[in-house]
Amino acid sequence: MNGGSLSSGQRLLFELGASGTINNGTVTVGETIALVDGSTLASSKLIQNGGTITTNAEFGFENEAGVYYPTFEQTGGTLQINGSLVWLGAAPGAGKGYFRSTGGSVFVTGTIGNDPTSTMGMHLELNGSSTVLENSGPNVQLLSGDSLILADSATWKDLHSVNWMNDGVVYGTNTSFFQSGNTIFNGTTGLGTAVYQLGNLTVPAGKTFNHVYPAELGISGDMNIVGAFTHNSNQLILNGPVNQQVNHSSNNLIFHGLHIRNTANGPSDGGYGISLNTNISVSTTMELFDGIVVSAPGKLIKLADELYLTGQSDSTFIDGYVEKTGNDAFTFPLGLVPDRYRPLTITPPSSQNTQIKIGYLNTAYGSLTPVETPMQSVSALEYWDFTNSNPGDLVGVTLGWNHASESGLTDCADITMTVWNGTQWVFVPSGTSGLCSGANEGTLYSSGNLPVSGPITIGFTSNVTQQQVILCYGDSVTVGSNTYSASGTYFDLLQDSNGDDSTVVTVVSVMNPVINSIASNITSITVDAPTADNLVWINCLDGSLAGGSGSFTFTPDSNGTYAVIAEHNGCSDTSDCVIIDQLGLSELSKMNLEIYPNPVKYGDKLTVNAVADSYIIQTLDGKEILPELVSFANGKSEIQLPPLGSGIYLLKATGSSTSLIGRFKVD
């Protein structure tokens, strides 16, 4: 059907292998559109490439005569089902009915799914960014073996209250979208056969997503919760292949159990693991099986009393603040992306109501002095921000590292734990295990409870000095006889004023260049320097200001060679020089000299298509040079060049009534 309209007061059937194609036009059916059984040659099939199909009672798949696979395929247009989308098989009917949409819109106002008595299977698939199904019906039902697939940015929208009774598989790829109404995810048999795996989940304002059954729900895309997310003591699995964002408008998303199984591993995957843009609370279980959890600044992961934590490692940890409630021993799985693992373990607090909040920071605490003897200094590279809601409920602490040199460690005998009491760094008797040098892992543990609750770091009892140096791109720092210009941790053994050996640990961080690139636009210059606080354009010949300050694009008034100085956070970056040599040539486009060969080699002659009274060679900075010799023949001029350096030059030919200008290059 390529146009026009088709109307049936009751039924439109495609049965016994019949098929139809709707490319355009309007089909309206008063009661039922059905794809029924098939033949020995093919199963019944309907294709919609465009137009509008409307049924006012039911769109169905039926198998009653044998094993067939009736199919509906939509690539465009609109399917309006003012009623139910159903599958119904009766013995000896079997097989499966396929509903596939790779483009277009589907609207359903009634129940979607397979009848509980059906002997045939159900497959419903939405695939493609232009594919949307809006469901305003009350129920979605899948039997064992049935499947509902959302793929390649397809969207499913529950508009109202919908009860999903699923004993099959609901699977959405990480690019697909599921919008919740007042949606309930449930099952029918209670035998644990249901699978719910969504891509991106959105819960709009005023709506509730209610996870009743089964015990686990997988989400491989983002979570955007404006309404409510209700876990009903079930587990959530975040298992995407790229970075997943978790957002909650009320800034307090509550999970019964949370399992991290995300394989995102850096910028090429959109980030590391899970990005939490909300506070979250977890009641019973947190599993860090794969991937890093990164909390946005000011966001907190709250873990309940007796929560079971598992899976933490060098590559699976939390980059952010964690608050633990309760009186059980606990390891805070802290670190910094991509691979700096710095766990902190506490002994059991006395009170079940004690809340301890800790974050790991790879920077110096605000005060590095004074220090209590026998310490001589404390770490300038890192500390654990430790807060106790019950400061008198003191605990013992163990600090861990997976790369000793990144913490500036060289010798276990030189270190101790220390805690800030508000006025000084207090010495904490400590012991070590593991190794304290190179790329080795180890721990530092307090011999008893901390004397106070406060920020914790590593103290040094021998001649060890740590320093952090931040360099502008291209700068360097000298320590002793060594000079460093690349980011890294460096160790230098020096002698103090008494002739004793002293170890200086220098952590160098080199800032990114302020200027990414600079490009000529024939008559203007554009710089790519998105972080620049200030821009100054200069003339490369003498360093004088060239105007255009503060602008990312500079259009000079005259030909020349120009550069830009960009500043950011106290760093200054100067671009390469760029030649502008075509200003004013547009007005002379009809009077251009044809010059050949071009480019010309050093010492060669030029030939031009004119005979002029005089010729002048001009550099881009305006300097004029006379040719060594000019000769004329056949309406052309041959010019012997003087010694010229490599670069771009202008040749100006002047006659009694006009001037011609050309450009040539010397290799």
pLDDT of res. 588: 36
- Reported as half-sphere exposure (CB side, CA atoms, 13 A), residue 158 has a value of 26
Q: 534 pLDDT exceeds 70?
A: yes
pLDDT of res. 189: 59
Confidence of residue 657 (pLDDT cuts 50, 70, 90): low
Share of the chain above pLDDT 70, in %: 96
Q: 488 pLDDT exceeds 70?
A: yes
What average pLDDT does the segment 116-129 reach? 97
**Of 188-192, 269-273, 561-565, highest mean pLDDT:** 269-273
Q: Which of 81-90, 141-150, 467-476 has the lowest mean pLDDT?
A: 467-476
**pLDDT tens for residues 389-431?**
999 999 999 999 999 999 999 999 899 999 999 999 999 989 9
pLDDT of res. 503: 77
Phi, psi for residue 610 in degrees, rounded to 5 = -155, 160
Beta-carbon contacts of 52 under 8 Å, excluding residues fewer than 6 positions away, are: 25, 26, 27, 77, 78, 79, 80
CA distance to 310, 352, 491, per residue, from 324 (Å): 15, 10, 37
**pLDDT tens for residues 426-439?**
999 899 999 999 99
Whether 389 and 356 have beta carbons less than 8 Å apart is answered as: yes
**pLDDT tens for residues 266-312?**
999 999 999 999 999 999 999 999 999 999 999 999 999 999 999 99
Q: 243 pLDDT exceeds 70?
A: yes
Longest dimension (CA), the chain: 106
Residue that wins the pLDDT comparison between 187 and 77: 77
What average pLDDT does the segment 208-216 reach? 96
pLDDT of res. 590: 38
pLDDT of res. 255: 98
Confidence of residue 585 (pLDDT cuts 50, 70, 90): very low
Pairwise CA distance, residues 46 & 542, whole Å: 77
What average pLDDT does the segment 230-249 reach? 98
Q: Which of 253-257, 498-502, 551-555 has the lowest mean pLDDT?
A: 498-502
Confidence of residue 561 (pLDDT cuts 50, 70, 90): confident
- Is the N-terminal amide bond of 214 cis, ω within 30° of 0? yes
Whether 632 and 655 have beta carbons less than 8 Å apart is answered as: no
Residue that wins the pLDDT comparison between 553 and 583: 553
> What are the E-state strand segments in 451-600?
456-460, 464-471, 477-479, 482-484, 488-495, 501-510, 517-520, 525-528, 534-539, 553-554, 560-568, 571-574, 578-580, 595-596
Q: 95 pLDDT exceeds 90?
A: yes
Q: Closest by alpha carbon to 99, among 156, 179, 137?
A: 156
Pairwise CA distance, residues 342 & 400, whole Å: 5
What average pLDDT does the segment 318-327 reach? 98
Phi, psi for residue 541 in degrees, rounded to 5 = -70, -40
What average pLDDT does the segment 9-30 reach? 96
Q: 176 pLDDT exceeds 50?
A: yes
Q: 364 pLDDT exceeds 90?
A: yes
**pLDDT tens for residues 334-359?**
999 999 999 999 999 999 999 999 99
Q: 586 pLDDT exceeds 70?
A: no
Q: Which of 204-218, 244-258, 596-610 has the lowest mean pLDDT?
A: 596-610
Average pLDDT, the chain: 92
Whether 312 and 333 have beta carbons less than 8 Å apart is answered as: yes
What average pLDDT does the segment 107-135 reach? 97
Q: Closest by alpha carbon to 521, among 573, 581, 568, 586?
A: 581
- pTM for this model (two decimals): 0.75
**pLDDT tens for residues 451-485?**
999 999 999 988 777 777 889 998 899 988 899 99
Residue that wins the pLDDT comparison between 654 and 225: 225
- The three-state secondary structure class of 404 is helix
CA distance to 149, 151, 171, 172, 361, per residue, from 196 (Å): 10, 14, 6, 8, 38
Whether 102 and 129 have beta carbons less than 8 Å apart is answered as: no
Confidence of residue 497 (pLDDT cuts 50, 70, 90): low
Q: Which of 81-90, 173-182, 366-375 has the lowest mean pLDDT?
A: 366-375
pLDDT of res. 582: 61
Whether 350 and 393 have beta carbons less than 8 Å apart is answered as: yes
What average pLDDT does the segment 616-626 reach? 81
pLDDT of res. 584: 45
Q: 507 pLDDT exceeds 90?
A: no
∠ Cα 320 271 223 (to 5°):
75
What average pLDDT does the segment 631-657 reach? 84
Q: 218 pLDDT exceeds 80?
A: yes
